[in-house]
Amino acid sequence: MALAFERRLPPPASFDSLASDLARFQAEHVPGYARLCAARGVEAGSIQRAADAPAVPTDAFRIARVFAFDERFAGVTFRTSGTTLGARGAHSMRDTRTYDTVALAFARAMLGLGPRVPVIVLGPPEEEAPDSSLAHMCALLSRELGVVETRDAYFVRAGALRVASLRDCVRGLRQDAPALVLATSFALVHLLDEIGGESLALPTGSRLMQTGGFKGRSREVSAPELRRLLSRAFSLPERAIVSEYGMTELSSQFWEASSVDEHASPGVYAEPPWARVVPVDPETLAAVPFGTVGIARIEDLANVDSAFAIVTQDMVRRVAGGFELLGRTPGAPPRGCSIALDEILSDTENVP
- pLDDT one-digit tens code per residue, 266-305: 999 999 999 999 999 999 999 999 999 999 999 999 999 9
The percentage of residues in the chain with a pLDDT greater than 70, rounded to a whole number, is: 94
Q: Give the pLDDT band of residue 204 (cuts 50, 70, 90).
A: very high
How far is the C-alpha of 72 from the C-alpha of 30, rounded, in Å?
15
| Per-residue model confidence as pLDDT tens digits over 52-73 | 999 999 999 999 989 999 989 9
**Alpha-carbon distances, residue 50 vs 17, 55, 108 (angstroms):** 8, 10, 27
pLDDT digits (tens, 9 = 90+) for 225-251: 999 999 999 999 999 999 999 999 999
Amino acid residing at 285: L
Q: Where in the chain is the domain with CATH 3.40.50.980?
A: 98-264
Residue closest to 92 by CA, chosen among 276, 251, 329: 251
CA angle 253, 259, 264 (to 5 degrees): 80
Angstrom distance (rounded) from CA 84 to CA 128: 23
Cα three-residue angle 162-164-165, rounded to 5 degrees: 70
* SS3 (DSSP) at 269: strand
Name residue 37's amino acid. Answer: C
pLDDT value, residue 171? 93
Of 87, 112, 51, 20, whose CA–CA distance to 286 is shortest? 51
Query: What value does the mean pLDDT take over residues 325-347?
Result: 85
Sign of the torsion formed by the C-alpha atoms of 169, 167, 223 and 316? positive
Other CB atoms within 10 A of residue 244 CB: 21
- pLDDT at residue 148, as a whole number: 66
Question: Which amino acid, one-letter code, is at 325?
Answer: L
pLDDT over threshold 80, residue 349: no
DSSP letter for each residue of 32-81: HHHHHHHHTT--GGG--SGGGSPPEETTHHHHS---SS-GGG-SEEEEPP
Tell me which residue of 286, 295, 299 sits closest to 331, measured CA to CA: 295
The stretch 35-57 carries a mean pLDDT of 94
Q: What angle do CA 282, 286, 288 make, to 5 degrees?
A: 85
Work out whether the CA dihedral 104, 110, 111, 113 comes out positive or negative: positive
> How many angstroms from the chain centroid is the CA of residue 32?
23
So what's the pLDDT on residue 132?
Answer: 95
- β-pair type (207-211, 180-184): parallel
Three-state secondary-structure class, residue 13: coil
Q: How far is CA 248 from CA 172, 269, 308, in A?
A: 35, 18, 13
Calculate the alpha carbon distances from 138 to 65, 132, 168, 181, 274 in Å. 27, 10, 21, 10, 21
Which residues lie below 8 Å from residue 21, measured CB to CB, with a gap of 6+? none
- Structure confidence by residue, pLDDT tens digits, 83-140: 545 689 999 999 999 999 999 999 999 999 988 999 999 999 999 999 999 999 999 9
Pairing of the two strands 254-256 and 180-184: unpaired
Pairing of strands 156-157, 119-122: unpaired
Q: Quote the CA–CA distance of 324 and 269 in Å, as a whole number.
A: 6
The one-letter amino acid code at 244 reads E
- Could you tell me the CA-to-CA distances from 290 to 84, 322, 324 in Å, in that order? 33, 11, 12
Alpha carbon distance, N-terminus to C-terminus of the chain: 32
Which class does domain 98-264 fall in? alpha beta
Q: pTM of the predicted model, to two decimals? A: 0.92
Residue 190 has pLDDT above 90, yes or no: yes
pLDDT of residue 322: 97
